[in-house]
Structure 1
């Protein structure tokens, strides 16, 4: 069975993120994309616009000292412009580490990612890690 094109788009985003190719990742997003991060940490909130999202991803790398790793586990499409992903997130920061599942709900418009709603397996642990 062939992968749905929306899943392929999101997979390409994960691959670009893993390579650290933020220019390629930005090219997969609309200019007005928004990434919603839950919780009450330094990375939480609504990151509006392609540049704000890229800045968020840079900050994740900086805060984790380059240790952040994502391992894509699942992609699910509804065929109407939505994809759900589940990945394992691992990173270290100072004296603590994080290892948890993260879910993302992507909205796809015109072949580009226009909205990302992030869900965390453990928001309190995420808040502690990202402070």
Structure 2
């Protein structure tokens, strides 16, 4: 049984993110891709456009001194342009660390990512981490 193309696309994205390969990651997104990060922290919000999404990712790496990493647990597709992932993410800021389960909901159009909604296990803890001095 071969992997569904949407699942393969998402796995390529996680791999590129993990390597800090923003060029490859950007090539998987539509130019008007949107990313929605929950909560009310300094990084929460809606990011519209591939360049803005990639800038957000760069900022997350910058805020964590490059310590941000994500371990993919699974990718689930519906065959109609949606993929859902489960993962665990880890990061450090100064003397504070975080380890949390989460996931992403992808909308895929024509083999490219058009929208990403992030979900986290604990929004308050996530906000506290991103807003902590660092």
Shorter-normalised TM range: over 0.9
Instruction: Quote the RMSD (CA, aligned, Å).
Output: 0.6
SS at match of 2:39: coil
Aligned length: 131
Report deviation, 1:94. 1.3
Q: Are 1:62 and 2:57 counterparts?
A: no
Moved over 4 A (4+): none
- 1:58-98 deviation line (CA, Å, top 9, x unaligned): 00100000000100001000000000001110010012111
Tell me what 2:81 maps to: 81
Aligned-partner Cα distance in 2 for 1:118–1:25: 16
Q: Distance in 2 between matches of 1:91 and 1:129?
A: 9
Q: Name the counterpart of 1:49.
A: 49
Distance 2:113 2:101 in 1: 21
Alignment of 1:23-38 (within 5 A): 23-38=23-38
| 2: CA distance, partners of 1:56 / 1:79 | 29
Mapped partners of 1:19, 1:95: distance in 2:
24
Match of 2:12 in 1: 12
Distance apart, 1:43 and its partner CA: 0.9
When the two structures are superposed, what TM-score results if normalisation uses the length of structure 2?
0.96
C-alpha distance in structure 2 between counterparts of 1:22 and 1:42, whole Å: 22
Q: Which residue of 2 aligns with 1:114?
A: 114
